[in-house]
């Protein structure tokens, strides 16, 4: 048996603007992971099991547009694999939440299959392959999810460029609050594409502002300025609301986090549901966690970058 896994991810600043070439900050979330296992089979077929999403079938019976099938086929081609084997997938990353579930599943599958056939892959190649699967999920993804999940380090990401490791001074703690409502990434990306086409100057100005905040946030993190990062997150949330990608449930959790002492709070990911993140310190962490649950979060996850 060959096993591999991949973490979730969280976008700190820069979502949506990253699709249009502006920078984004993102970090892995090690508290939740996707897992893939590969076992040899006596029969000359590839069996696929992912019980959480109702998949129990053979690869040759899966359409080309099925993301799990796509990830496995890419891996077989890359590793020049042959013979029969079984791929089993499980994940504790909430799907459609903004935590990078689809990218993590793809990365785990790619790693497990290629390792099973003793084909070594660098993180950059894993990210490239996972991006091909992300296109099925999201239509026009930025590439940030597959990049962060494959490299498993905080990054400053610009579409089309090599990801840059994010320098971190000190320790930055976050509480993630999950609304429990699916985040319709593909629909929101399409909606913003239409807004951008209809009023390019206005939407580009918003994206420029988000990009500037993101660069400022990267500098704050690099200098260990936790107190300066919070207001940048709050400002970014205001811009995302102007773009129309927040939601009442996200707004409620963000407000609850700020009222409980969070240094900053914003949606994370595509929006329209899914997750939000709150920047906290030791004195506010538990109060914010509790406030999010009381405000309706179906789960909270504590994560951090730096040390």
Active site residues: 145
From the list 285, 297, 286, 239, the residue with the least C-alpha distance to 16 is 239
The answer to whether 152 and 161 are in contact (CB under 8 A) is no
User: Where is 236: in which H helix or E strand?
Assistant: helix 226-243
Q: Count of CB atoms within 10 A of residue 49's CB?
A: 16
Contact at 8 Å (CB) between 245 and 194? no
Tokens of 205: 């100005």
Task: Tell me how far CA of residue 73 lies from CA of 63, 76, 111, 115, in angstroms.
Answer: 11, 5, 13, 15
Answer for the pair 121, 135: CB distance below 8 angstroms, yes or no: no
Strands (E), the chain: 2-13, 24-40, 46-50, 55-58, 85-91, 155-157, 164-165, 171-178, 264-268, 275-280, 299-306
Distances in Å between the alpha carbon of 157 and those of 56, 229, 279? 36, 18, 20
Which run of H or of E encompasses 132?
Answer: helix 123-138
Query: Do 32 and 130 contact (CB within 8 A), yes or no?
Result: no
Q: Give the CA radius of gyration of the chain.
A: 19
What is the number of other CB atoms lying within 10 angstroms of the CB of residue 159?
17
């Amino acid at each position: 048996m060959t096993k591999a896994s991949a973490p979730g991810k969280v976008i700190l600043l820069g979502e949506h603007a990253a699709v249009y070439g502006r920078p984004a900050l993102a970090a892995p979330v090690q508290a939740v992971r996707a897992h893939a296992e590969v076992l040899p089979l006596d029969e000359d077929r590839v069996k696929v099991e992912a019980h959480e999403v109702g998949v129990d079938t053979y690869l040759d019976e899966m359409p080309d547009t099925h993301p799990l099938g796509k990830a496995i086929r890419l891996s077989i081609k890359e590793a020049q694999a042959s013979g029969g084997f079984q791929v089993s997938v499980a994940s504790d990353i909430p799907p459609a939440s903004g935590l990078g579930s689809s990218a993590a599943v793809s990365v785990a599958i790619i790693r497990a299959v290629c390792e099973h056939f003793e084909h070594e892959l660098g993180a950059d190649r894993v990210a490239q392959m996972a991006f091909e699967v992300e296109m099925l999920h999201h239509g026009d993804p930025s590439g940030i999810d597959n990049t962060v999940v494959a490299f498993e380090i905080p990054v400053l990401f610009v579409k089309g460029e090599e990801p840059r490791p994010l320098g971190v001074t000190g320790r930055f703690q976050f509480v993630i609050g999950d609304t429990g409502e699916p985040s319709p990434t593909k629909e929101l990306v399409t909606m913003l594409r239409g807004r951008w086409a209809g009023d390019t100057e206005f939407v580009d100005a918003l994206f420029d502002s988000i990009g500037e905040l993101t660069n400022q946030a990267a500098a704050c993190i690099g200098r260990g300025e936790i107190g300066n990062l919070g207001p940048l997150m709050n400002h970014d949330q205001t811009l995302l609301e102007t773009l129309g990608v927040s939601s009442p449930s996200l707004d409620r959790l963000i407000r609850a986090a700020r009222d409980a002492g969070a240094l900053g709070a914003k949606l994370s990911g595509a929006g329209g549901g899914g997750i939000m993140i709150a920047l906290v310190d030791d004195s506010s962490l538990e109060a914010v966690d509790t406030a999010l649950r009381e405000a309706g979060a179906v789960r909270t996850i504590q994560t951090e970058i730096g040390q």
